[in-house]
Amino acid sequence: MRQPIDQFAKQLPADKRASVYQSTKATHEKRTKLLFDGFADPNRLRTLAGQIKQHALENLDTYLPQVEARLKANGAQVHWAGTGEKACEIVLRIMKARGATRMVKAKTMVSEEIELAAYLEKHGLEALETDLGEFIVQIDHDHPSHIVRPIIHKNRREIAQSFEREGLGAYNDDPETITRRARQYLRHKYLAADVGLTGANFVSAESGRIVLVTNEGNSRFCMAATRCHIALVGIEKIVPRDRDLGLLLNLLGRSATAQDLTVYTEFINGPKAPGQPDGPEEMHVIFVDNGRTEVLAGECREILRCIRCGACLNVCPVYRQASGHAYRSVYPGPVGSVLSPLLLGDRFPQKADLPKASSLCGACHEVCPVNIPIPDLLLRLRNRAKEENVPSTGTPPMGAWALMASQPTAWKAALVGGNLLNYVPARLIPVPAMQAWCEKRTLPPWRGGKFRQWMRQRPKPGPTAGPAG
């Protein structure tokens, strides 16, 4: 049975696949060089970063109250949203209370997750994306296809056409022109906006500092002219101490975009203090759960360490072939194949096929800056799908095989019986797995039992009698 991701990948136009492949490969290779040139043992750093994040997750009951107290002491207002809908309502309430109608947004994955922009638009409010990639996604009514590079699936000709359509100038696919036009358009929007919304890459429990990284500086602009800053933060973004940020920021820039450090790194300590010349006078931090505590209570909690760098997407051979939209989720790639079904809670079966769309090659684990054992988690979710009797997601049934493989007599009989394969053309064998194998591959000759025979008959020095013990 052909799986949705396989189908999607097969239908992906060759030029899209080529551009996803080329750019992910280039970033991955640069990332590897940067990490291994810069540090004696990057794997130790990844391990340590993973331990820090894991510690934070396992002590959220301590750190969340601590960060709330710190944020309040810093002058921010703190909100808790159990669900995505709740988080959207809180944002709407804040905007309504201020009579605000126009929001400028920095890039935040959690806002994609809870579909905030669509929600606000439905309520007659503007929510404008200011990250260039997200801006293009928005004007095209598209979806991001990569965590860090939302328009990895688009080429500049398509972008130039979108700009022309939106009245941003005559067709011109020169990247610099595209960028300049977006900048000119967005500058006016920043000045006119009432509210700036950002995410948070990290929040320090020790100081309540919110850390944001960008390469375009758009999150600074979002907070420069607006009077109100809202930060939407997944509860897993907490780190215990400010000093942990040194390690995590070093790993994030290198892993995400192969940079020593992103161009902009902001530490936000609270709203405008009396006497400060500018900055938002009001600051709200909305902590979003949206299924995370349930993930935390389960056996795949390591996935919450994720710092959304996208390195696992870049290295993943499946992502490179299928691109991000194949995953039908805000979070694509290896991390998405774990996180997306988990965040669905009871609706897990809807995306239970995602964990199967992996050859379990382990490249994702090898590059993860917080050392998430992604293949192990994919395997756990495959087993969960089986235990919860999710209708077949493409794996041949294993019961008969297991029965045979635990009975040597049956096994040996099958080894001999398999000889039939040498006489029947594979295309005539009505087993879907066999058909799928043979469509593009030959099967080697069946030689079942030959080794055992050789082992028994060889003259010297001969096998010892049976199993030891």
**Touching another protein, residues 439-458 (CB under 8 A):** 439-452, 454-455
**Alpha carbon 256 to chain centroid, angstroms:** 11
Label the pairing between strands 77-81 and 282-288.
Answer: parallel
Give the torsion sign (CA, 250, 252, 257, 262): negative
Q: State which residue, 231 or 381, has the beta carbon closest to another protein.
A: 381
C-beta atoms surrounding 64 within 10 Å: 18
With CA atoms as reference, report the closest residue to 186 among 151, 220, 231, 237.
220
Q: Which two tokens stand for residue 343?
A: 């965040």
How many C-alpha atoms does 311 have within 13 Å on its Cβ side?
31
How many C-alpha atoms does 329 have within 13 Å on its Cβ side?
26
Q: State which residue, 179 or 395, has the beta carbon closest to another protein.
A: 395
In the numeric block, the tokens 């805000």 are attached to 330
| End-to-end CA separation in angstroms for the chain | 44
Q: How far is the CB of 17 from another protein (least distance, A)?
A: 9
Q: State which residue, 273 or 403, has the beta carbon closest to another protein.
A: 403
**389 scored as a contact of another protein (CB under 8 A):** no
**212 scored as a contact of another protein (CB under 8 A):** no
**13 scored as a contact of another protein (CB under 8 A):** no
Q: State which residue, 63 or 319, has the beta carbon closest to another protein.
A: 319
**26 scored as a contact of another protein (CB under 8 A):** no
The three-state secondary structure class of 209 is coil
366-385 residues in contact with another protein (CB under 8 A) are: 366, 373, 376, 379-385
**45 scored as a contact of another protein (CB under 8 A):** no
**189 scored as a contact of another protein (CB under 8 A):** no
398-427 residues in contact with another protein (CB under 8 A) are: 398-399, 401-408, 411, 415, 418
With CA atoms as reference, report the closest residue to 354 among 383, 373, 323, 327.
327
Q: Among 5, 127, 148, 311, which residue interacts with another protein (rule: CB under 8 A)?
A: 5
With CA atoms as reference, report the closest residue to 286 among 348, 233, 215.
233
**396 scored as a contact of another protein (CB under 8 A):** yes
Residue pair 171/182 in contact by the 8 Å Cβ criterion: no
Q: State which residue, 26 or 191, has the beta carbon closest to another protein.
A: 26
Residue 238: which H helix or E strand, with range? strand 238-239
Q: Which two tokens stand for residue 399?
A: 């019961």
**Alpha carbon 73 to chain centroid, angstroms:** 33
Distance CA 59, CA 50 (A): 14
Q: How far is the CB of 129 from another protein (least distance, A)?
A: 31
345-364 residues in contact with another protein (CB under 8 A) are: 355-363
Q: Among 18, 25, 121, 175, which residue interacts with another protein (rule: CB under 8 A)?
A: 25
**180 scored as a contact of another protein (CB under 8 A):** no
Give the torsion sign (CA, 193, 195, 200, 206): positive
Q: How far is the CB of 308 from another protein (least distance, A)?
A: 22
321-350 residues in contact with another protein (CB under 8 A) are: 321-322
Q: Which span sits near another protein by CB under 8 A: 33-41, 118-126, 250-258, 460-468? A: 460-468
Q: State which residue, 205 or 316, has the beta carbon closest to another protein.
A: 316
Q: Which two tokens stand for residue 292?
A: 């995370």
**18 scored as a contact of another protein (CB under 8 A):** no
User: Helices in 218-257 by DSSP H: which ranges?
Assistant: 218-224, 244-257
**42 scored as a contact of another protein (CB under 8 A):** no
Q: How far is the CB of 239 from another protein (least distance, A)?
A: 23
C-beta atoms surrounding 446 within 10 Å: 16
Size of the site for another protein (CB under 8 A): 80
Q: Which span sits near another protein by CB under 8 A: 98-106, 205-213, 304-312, 388-396? A: 388-396
Q: Among 205, 318, 335, 354, which residue interacts with another protein (rule: CB under 8 A)?
A: 318
Q: Which two tokens stand for residue 289?
A: 């759960």
Q: State which residue, 275 or 444, has the beta carbon closest to another protein.
A: 444
**292 scored as a contact of another protein (CB under 8 A):** no
